[in-house]
C-alpha cells in the first residue's frame, strides 16, 4: 500500500495538470458563441457589456475576439438613435475597440470574422475625414488626423491610411511624426508603383483610401512642390490613372485629371 499511494497521487496530479492545461487552451481558442448569438440577435447592448467583461477577465483579456465583438456591437449602437442617450460615444468606442482588436490579433488569425466589418467601418470613417479636410481649419485638421490614426491602427496593412496620417501630421505642424510615418510608407508605395497587380491584394477600403490619400498629398504639394506631388501620384499611376481590372472601387477621372494638370 505504501508503494501504491505515491503512484496514485502522481497520477492524480498529472490528470489535474492536463485538465488545467486543457482549460487554458479552451480559453485561448474560445470562439465566443455567446457573443455571436447576441450580435446576430441584435442584442447589441448585452453583447457589448458581455464583451467588456471578457476583456477584463484574467483568462480572456488577451483573446482578440471579445475586443472585436465589443467593436461590432458598439458600432451598431452608434447607428441606432435608441442608444444615443446611454452610449453617446459609441462610435469612438467602436473605433477604440477595433484598434485594440487588431493589436491583439497581430497575425490576423480572425481575418474572416473581422475584415468585412473593418472594411465597412473604415469607409464610414474616411468619409468623415474627407469632410473635415474640406472644411480646412486647424480644428478640423486635428479631428482628421486623429481619425486617420485610428484607421491605421485598425488596419496596419493600409498604407494609404498611413500616408494620409503623415500628410495630416504635416497639416497640424507635427513634422517629426509626419517624417516618421512617411518613412514607413515610401517602400510600400514604391512597390505599388512597380507592380500594376498591387490592387489585387487590397480590399475595397484599402484601395479607396490609397487613391484618396495620393490625390490629397498631390493637391497639397502641387503649388509648393509640383515635382514632389508628381512623384507621389506616380506611385499610383498603374493603379488609378486608367481603369484597372483588379479595382474594387468605381473608376473616376479625378486621378488622371490631377496628374495631367501637374
pLDDT of residue 13: 39
Rounded CA-CA distance 120/166 in Å is 23
> 76 with 99, same domain?
yes
Instruction: Look at residue 157 and tell me if it is in a domain.
Output: yes
Instruction: Look at residue 174 and tell me if it is in a domain.
Output: yes
Residue 168 has pLDDT above 90, yes or no: yes
Rounded CA-CA distance 95/91 in Å is 6
What is the count of structural domains for the chain? Answer: 2
> 96 with 133, same domain?
no
pLDDT of residue 207: 98
Rounded CA-CA distance 236/219 in Å is 14
Contact 213, 164 (CB under 8 A): yes
Of 15-24, 28-37, 126-135, which has the strongest mean pLDDT?
Answer: 126-135
Q: Could you tell me the pLDDT band of residue 30, with boundaries at 50, 70 and 90?
A: confident
The sign of the CA dihedral 207, 213, 219, 225 is negative
Domain span at residue 139 reads 122-262
Percentage of the chain surpassing pLDDT 70? 89
Q: Could you say which of 41, 75, 109 is where a domain stops? A: 109
- Residue range 224-236: mean pLDDT, rounded: 95
Read off the pTM.
Answer: 0.86
Instruction: Look at residue 79 and tell me if it is in a domain.
Output: yes
> 97 with 128, same domain?
no
Burial of 10 (0-12, 13-18, 19+ CB in 10 A): exposed
Would you state the cell numbers that stand for residue 148, as one nine-digit string?
Answer: 486617420
> 194 with 237, same domain?
yes
- Residue range 18-24: mean pLDDT, rounded: 38
Q: Could you tell me the pLDDT band of residue 48, with boundaries at 50, 70 and 90?
A: very high
Instruction: Look at residue 10 and tell me if it is in a domain.
Output: no
Task: List all residues 6 or more positions away from 167 whose beta carbon is below 8 Å from its beta carbon.
Answer: 178, 213, 216, 217, 220
Rounded CA-CA distance 180/169 in Å is 10
Contact 66, 31 (CB under 8 A): no
Question: Residue 108 gets which letter from DSSP?
Answer: -
> 210 with 80, same domain?
no
Amino acid at each position: 500500500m505504501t508503494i501504491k499511494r505515491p503512484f496514485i497521487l502522481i497520477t492524480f496530479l498529472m490528470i489535474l495538470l492536463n485538465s488545467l492545461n486543457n482549460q487554458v487552451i479552451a480559453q485561448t481558442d474560445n470562439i465566443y458563441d455567446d457573443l455571436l448569438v447576441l450580435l446576430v440577435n441584435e442584442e447589441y447592448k448585452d453583447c457589448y457589456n458581455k464583451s467588456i467583461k471578457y476583456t477584463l477577465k484574467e483568462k480572456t483579456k488577451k483573446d482578440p475576439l471579445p475586443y472585436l465583438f465589443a467593436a461590432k456591437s458598439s458600432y451598431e449602437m452608434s447607428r441606432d438613435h435608441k442608444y444615443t442617450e446611454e452610449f453617446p460615444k459609441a462610435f469612438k468606442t467602436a473605433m477604440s475597440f477595433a484598434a485594440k482588436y487588431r493589436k491583439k490579433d497581430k497575425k490576423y488569425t480572425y481575418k474572416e470574422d473581422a475584415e468585412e466589418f473593418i472594411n465597412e467601418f473604415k469607409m464610414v470613417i474616411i468619409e468623415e475625414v474627407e469632410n473635415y479636410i474640406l472644411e480646412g481649419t486647424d480644428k478640423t485638421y486635428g479631428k482628421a488626423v486623429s481619425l486617420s490614426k485610428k484607421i491605421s491602427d485598425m488596419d496596419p496593412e493600409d498604407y494609404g491610411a498611413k500616408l494620409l496620417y503623415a500628410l495630416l501630421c504635416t497639416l497640424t505642424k507635427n513634422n517629426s511624426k509626419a517624417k516618421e510615418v512617411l518613412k514607413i510608407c515610401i517602400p510600400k508605395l514604391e512597390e505599388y508603383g512597380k507592380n500594376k497587380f498591387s490592387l489585387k491584394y487590397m480590399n475595397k477600403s484599402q484601395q479607396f483610401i490609397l487613391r484618396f490619400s495620393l490625390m490629397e498629398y498631390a493637391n497639397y504639394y502641387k503649388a509648393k512642390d509640383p515635382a514632389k506631388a508628381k512623384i507621389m501620384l506616380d506611385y499610383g499611376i498603374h493603379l488609378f490613372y486608367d481603369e484597372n481590372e483588379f479595382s474594387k472601387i468605381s473608376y473616376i477621372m479625378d486621378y488622371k485629371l490631377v496628374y495631367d494638370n501637374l
